[in-house]
Structure 1
Amino acid sequence: MKKIGRIIFIGLAALLLLCFTVQFILAGMAAFVNYEYWKDHMLFVHLFGFNLPIIMLLTALISKFPRKVSLQLAAIFGLVFLMYVTANVSSLFPWVGALHPLFGILLFLVSIAILKTSFRLTFKNTDKISSGH
């Protein structure tokens, strides 16, 4: 059961990475092709922004992943929250809006880290992250 849960988690982690990639593409389309894509960028995040990480957290707990995975998911939650903040207060504090793409990059990088960590923990048959040895 643990291994099946971990494989499901890996699929969800890959889906999360794909969702962040689509978000970057939609933002780029809005900036360089047609501003109408901005609506898609804003709406798409509501489909996965907090929902998918919550499902991933439940799956991680059921699969008995070590604390590192939960901490990475906590980083995702925090960064998604910061994305909402930077998107919604930029009219009051324009410099805060400039942080929005930076947090997007961090979300992308943390989602890669979660995918790599979960894959390594699942298929190296260990609950410890190897230190490169």
Structure 2
Amino acid sequence: MNDEAIKKEPYRVRYCRLAYSILALVLLICIVVQVYLAGMALFGNSEVWKWHRSFVPMFGYISVILFILGIIGKLNRKMIWGSLGLFVLISFQYITALHIAGALHPVLALALFWGALALVRGSYPFLMKRNK
């Protein structure tokens, strides 16, 4: 996209895209921290499980915000629906943590990581655009 096209975009579109990029990165970092907390609890101090459980509600809805920002920011379908897909995966994480499908819990964590990484990589160009 050239500079002329960027200048013609409404401010709300540009700001939503920038916010999307930043929040996608925040979500990715939160997922990495969450996996780190699980590892600490599993291989070190079992008291850390309470941190692992209580950290999820702090970032679980970022993916819904990404979905809304993606629509307002007129992003492509892959990024819009990908953010909603992450919300579905996070919801499944709650189910797998409590029931017999617990073996899927770390597998879904990997899917969450790769999905969030894909959103960050897809939104990276929005961080690099500068208004002149």
User: What's the TM-score bracket when you normalise by the shorter of the two chains?
Assistant: 0.7 to 0.9
User: Superposed, which structure 2 residues align to 1:7-22 within 5 Å?
Assistant: 7-22=18-33
Residue 69 (structure 2) pairs with residue 59 (structure 1): yes
Change (3 A) 1:123 1:17: closer
C-alpha distance after superposition, 1:47-104 (max 9, x if no partner): 111x211211121111111111112112201211111110111xxx2xx101100000
CA distance in 2, matches of 1:79, 1:23: 14
Residue 75 (1) aligns with residue 85 (2) = yes
Runs of at least 5 residues in structure 2 that lack an aligned partner in the other structure: 1-10
In structure 1, how many angstroms separate the alpha carbons of the residues matched to 2:127 and 2:56?
30
What's 2:113 paired with?
108
Q: Distance in 1 between matches of 2:91 and 2:127?
A: 31
For the residues of structure 1 that align with 2:34 and 2:26, how far apart are their CA atoms? 12
State how many pairs are aligned: 118
Seen in structure 2, the aligned counterparts of structure 1 residues 124 and 12 have a Cα distance that, compared at 3 Å, is closer
The RMSD of aligned alpha carbons is 1.5
Identity of matched residues, %: 36
With structure 1 as the length reference, what TM-score do the two structures score? 0.83
Q: Structure 1 stretches (4+) deviating beyond 3 angstroms? A: none
Residues 96-126 of structure 1: per-residue CA shift (max 9 Å, x gap): 1011000001000000001111224x3688x
Task: For 2:39, give the aligned amino acid.
Answer: G
Normalized per residue, which structure has more helix? Answer: 2
The residue type equivalent to 1:12 in the other structure is L
Partner SS for 1:65 = coil
